[in-house]
């Protein structure tokens, strides 16, 4: 690699960096630190031109090494970071922010707060405007920590109220934290991005102080503003909020519809299906079937009794009413090639029966209807169930027998 005829500073330091990189990739922190000591003198000759400049390298590499090599020594880390802050004005706020993260990760919340406050008050000519994004983030995180303080005060207050105390000072503090937090949290969630934690906290504050309208608006913005990246959580939060406030089924369903589109395997799909099944509107019930089938496409749901019971219930209802078998047919069409092996193998029949009788029951019903009474799964489970003289399996067997031709109509 290095028969360089020109042996100079630049080549030498580049080589040094590649040794550092190799050592870090192999987690040889001592060796990385060793080479870093030789790299550090690049600071006295900061090119700032073609490659990432030395001060940024040293900051990032040094942080990695210190994290791994002496993670318990916060004092050392802090002193290192303080030096890094003085190295590059253009990076000052970024370093402050990451420093704060590091402190938070190590449980030093007060220190982190102090750091963020200091950073917030930093001004440096045109750099302040250039580093506007970082400044917003710093304020946002400080707002988050204010929320955390608010939360603590709130709990104290609630305790005291319970005990019959009245505590004006705690209350006042709580309110002041609220004000500080609210201002900053509100600011950051205006910027298109993923701000889950911030949104949750902000909404929590708003709800506590009774400003439901603002809260609803915030959540709607977060979920539906096209400028923001598609975020399943946004819809979850909105849904949860609406549910908390007893909104109509209609609005709940519309909140979950997009979630289904984005994340068909989301855990809320069960609630969604349940709501949809009960709907008087045909379209909604149709959607419900689609939703539950889609959820069960995912491996994570294979052993979810509730999901299977939803599907079983709906399938049973459709079969009994003998209306809309075509719905099942449509859903089954794209699944008939792989669901049998995926869900209804003989091995799974045995396992499900051994591990979870309810699961086996629900699945057996679905299998019996979709694949007929002679399918492996149904045969095994119903046989086992009847052998064990469990009542519902006898009923199940009868039911499937009565509708044994359905599967033909479905598979078409």
Partner 1 sequence: RDFNERCAQCSEVNWGLTDGGRFYCRSCHNVTERTREVVNTDFAVNSRIQTISKGLRKQKNNDGDCEWYVCEGFQLILKKQAEALETLGVCPQMKDEILYNFWRCYLQKSKQAYCKRPAAEAIRALSACESSTDVDSEPERPSLVHLLSLSESDGDLQTDCSFASSTSKVSESTSVCSGSVDGSLYFIKNQKEKLRMTMPMTLSFCYMALLWLREPMTLSDLLRFVVEGHIPYLNVFQHFPEKMKLCGLDLKIFCVESWPAYEEVYNKMLELAAFLDLPRFPDITDSCFLHPDMLCMKYLMEANLPDELHNWTCRVVKKISVGEADFLTLVPGNKSTRKVKYDVLAAAVIIVVLKLLFLLDDHYEWLLSDFAEERNKNNKEGGPYFEFKKWYKVIKCSLDVEQNKLDEERAKYLWRCEKPLYYSAEKKSKVLKRRQMVVNLQNQFGKLSGSVRPAEKPNPSSFQLSWSEENTDGSCFHGHSLKGILQEKCGLLTAMNTDYWLCTVKLCTEKLCGHLAHYREVVFPESYHFVLRLFSFLLRIQPSYIHDEVCVIEHKLFNKKVCKKPKYNTGLRK
Give the residues lining the site for partner 1 (CB under 8 A): 1-3, 5-12, 15-16, 18-19, 29-31, 33-38, 40-41, 43-45, 47, 58, 62, 65-66, 69-70, 76, 79-80, 83, 86-87
- Smallest gap, in angstroms, from Cβ of residue 51 to partner 1? 13
Closest CB to partner 1 among residues 2, 321: 2
The alpha carbon torsion through 281, 282, 286, 287 (nearest 10 deg) reads -30
Closest CB to partner 1 among residues 38, 342: 38
Say how many Å lie between the first and final Cα of the chain, rounded: 66
Closest CB to partner 1 among residues 31, 284: 31
What gap in Å lies between CA 276 and CA 264, rounded to an integer?
A: 15
The tally of CA atoms less than 13 A away on the side-chain side of residue 319 is: 24
What gap in Å lies between CA 287 and CA 291, rounded to an integer?
A: 6
How large is the angle between the packed helices 109-120 and 92-105, nearest 10 degrees? 170
Look up residue 403 and give its DSSP letter: T
Closest CB to partner 1 among residues 62, 288: 62
Closest CB to partner 1 among residues 51, 209: 51
* 381 touches 396 (CB < 8 A): no
Burial 195-230 (b: 16+ CB within 10 A, else e): bbebbbbbbbbbeeeeeeebbbebbebbbeeeebee
Closest CB to partner 1 among residues 76, 374: 76
* 280 touches 249 (CB < 8 A): no
Closest CB to partner 1 among residues 47, 51: 47
Which DSSP string do the residues of 14-62 spell out, in sequence order? HHHHHHHHHHHHTT-HHHHHHHHHHHGGGGGG---SSS--HHHHHHHHH
Q: What angle do CA 249, 239, 229 make, to 5 degrees?
A: 135
Closest CB to partner 1 among residues 10, 323: 10
Distance, CA of 88 to chain centre:
35
Question: Quick one: 393 exposed, middle or buried, by C-beta within 10 A (0-12, 13-18, 19+)?
Answer: buried
Closest CB to partner 1 among residues 83, 334: 83
């Amino acid at each position: 690699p290095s028969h360089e005829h020109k042996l100079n500073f630049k080549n030498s330091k580049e080589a040094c960096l590649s040794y550092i990189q190799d050592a870090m990739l192999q987690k040889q922190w001592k060796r990385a630190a060793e080479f870093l000591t030789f790299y550090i003198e690049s600071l006295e000759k900061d090119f700032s031109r073609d490659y990432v400049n030395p001060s940024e390298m040293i900051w990032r590499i040094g942080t990695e090494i210190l994290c791994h090599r002496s993670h318990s020594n916060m004092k050392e880390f802090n002193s290192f970071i303080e030096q890094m802050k003085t190295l590059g004005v253009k990076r000052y706020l970024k370093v402050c922010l990451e420093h704060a993260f590091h402190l938070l990760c190590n449980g030093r919340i007060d220190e982190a707060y102090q750091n963020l406050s200091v950073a917030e008050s930093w001004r440096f000519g045109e750099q302040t405007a250039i580093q506007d994004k970082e400044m917003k983030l710093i304020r946002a995180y400080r707002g988050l920590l204010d929320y955390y303080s608010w939360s603590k005060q709130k709990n104290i207050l609630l305790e005291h109220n319970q005990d019959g105390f009245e505590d004006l000072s705690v209350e006042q503090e709580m309110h002041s934290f609220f004000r500080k937090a609210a201002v900053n949290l509100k600011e950051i969630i205006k910027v298109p991005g993923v701000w889950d934690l911030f949104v949750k906290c902000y909404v929590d504050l708003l709800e506590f102080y009774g400003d439901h309208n603002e809260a609803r608006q915030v959540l709607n913005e977060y979920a539906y503003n096209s400028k923001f990246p598609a975020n399943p959580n946004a819809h979850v939060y909105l849904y949860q909020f609406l549910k908390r406030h007893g909104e109509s089924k209609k609005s709940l369903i519309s909140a979950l519809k997009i979630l289904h589109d984005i994340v068909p395997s989301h855990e809320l799909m069960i609630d969604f299906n349940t709501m949809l099944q009960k709907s008087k509107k045909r379209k909604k019930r149709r959607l419900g079937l689609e939703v539950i089938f889609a959820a069960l496409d995912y491996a994570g749901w294979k052993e979810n009794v509730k999901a299977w019971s939803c599907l079983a219930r709906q399938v049973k209802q459709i079969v009994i009413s003998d209306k809309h078998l075509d719905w099942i047919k449509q859903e089954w069409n794209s699944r008939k090639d792989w669901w049998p092996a995926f869900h209804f193998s003989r091995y799974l029949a045995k396992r499900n029966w051994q591990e979870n009788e309810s699961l086996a029951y629900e699945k057996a019903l679905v299998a019996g209807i979709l694949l007929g009474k002679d399918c492996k799964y149904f045969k095994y489970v119903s046989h086992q169930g009847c052998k064990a003289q469990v009542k519902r399996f006898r009923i199940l067997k009868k039911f499937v027998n009565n509708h044994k031709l359905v599967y033909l109509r479905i598979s078409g």
